[in-house]
Structure 1
């Protein structure tokens, strides 16, 4: 007989710098499968600013990337106990961003970027979060197919949605692209699309364009 128990759990996150709580922007950046937040947040180093805080939560599921030793990576979920992992992710991100925002006398603008598996995780969470998200960037990934469309339409009504994809991304299949197009059509909202020369990776030039909102 299977049962569950909920208990206090400690999770980690990494910041671009010590917050002053005078920052005007917060970028919540969610890493992809097999990555660690410590190294993921470093990819945004060129865009660190006293007025901009990057917050990189680390997924709470960890695994050895090869075999039974060596480098460790984190993932947001697997097929095993998938729904439980999703609910845990939501509680984690709610608590993290809530605690940070509570310390700001003047609320900063919130932007969210999800990379690869982090993109689907970002859309599930952002579509049900009670706060306002100015920009949602899905990089080398897309909307979670099980995301509630009705919730998403309401949550993203005033959110700029951006898709960024490398033209040689070997992990994105034509079937996945078609499913995303079908979902986007159902959202009935304008999507800003960017393509860059590269694979399943972040591109510094395009990242700068998006973060600095240069169109």
Structure 2
């Protein structure tokens, strides 16, 4: 018999600073497969300050990146027990953001940034979140293929969506980009596309230009 058991669990995240309740933008950053938030959040810290809070949750699955020792990375899910991982991610992220938002009398603007696997995870989670995001940035990644379309059209109605791809990205080709556009049209959205010279990465200068559109 295959069963599940619920229990108290702790998960890691990093944050630019303790929330003051006065920030007017919260940037929630989802890392890609095999990354750790300690390093991932550094890309976004230059944009943090009294007006901007940056928070980066970490996937709760860990693995050695090569063989059985050395560097370790986190991921949001694998195909094994995928639905269970999705459910656990939602509980974790809902709880985390409820705790963070307690200090705000007025809800700040919300921007969700997803890189690679984090693009699917972030868009899937926020699709069912009780708060509608102001911005959704999909970087070297795409909307979750299992978005609940009936919810997504309303959830993202007022969301500004930006997508960024490198022209040498080995994981995101033109076919995937066309499929992304079609997916967006299904929820009656168009995205601002940013194309750059590079691969599966987040070049600081390109990120700075994208963030200037939000901050």
TM-score range, shorter chain: over 0.9
What does residue 185 of structure 1 align with? 185
Q: Where do 5+ consecutive residues of structure 2 fail to align?
A: none
What does residue 128 of structure 2 align with? 128
Question: Is 1:208 equivalent to 2:208 in the alignment?
Answer: yes
What does residue 149 of structure 1 align with? 149
TM-score w.r.t. length of structure 1? 0.95
Equivalent pair of 2:19/2:103 in contact (CA under 8 Å): no
Equivalent pair of 2:31/2:117 in contact (CA under 8 Å): yes
Give 1:181 deviation, angstroms.
2.7
d(CA) in 2 for partners of 1:139, 1:9: 29
- Report which stretch shifted further, 104-113 or 31-40: 104-113
d(CA) in 2 for partners of 1:166, 1:186: 24
d(CA) in 1 for partners of 2:64, 2:87: 24
Equivalent pair of 2:33/2:76 in contact (CA under 8 Å): yes
- Root-mean-square deviation (CA, aligned residues, Å) is 1.5
Question: Is 1:34 equivalent to 2:34 in the alignment?
Answer: yes
Encode CA deviations 1:35-57: one digit per residue, 9 max, x unaligned: 00111000112212221010000
d(CA) in 1 for partners of 2:16, 2:42: 8
Encode CA deviations 1:35-91: one digit per residue, 9 max, x unaligned: 001110001122122210100000000000001111110000000000000011111
d(CA) in 1 for partners of 2:132, 2:154: 11
Question: Is 1:10 equivalent to 2:33 in the alignment?
Answer: no
Aligned partner of residue 178 in structure 1, secondary structure: helix
Give 1:127 deviation, angstroms.
0.8
Equivalent pair of 2:63/2:72 in contact (CA under 8 Å): yes
Alignment length (residue pairs): 215
Give 1:23 deviation, angstroms.
1.2
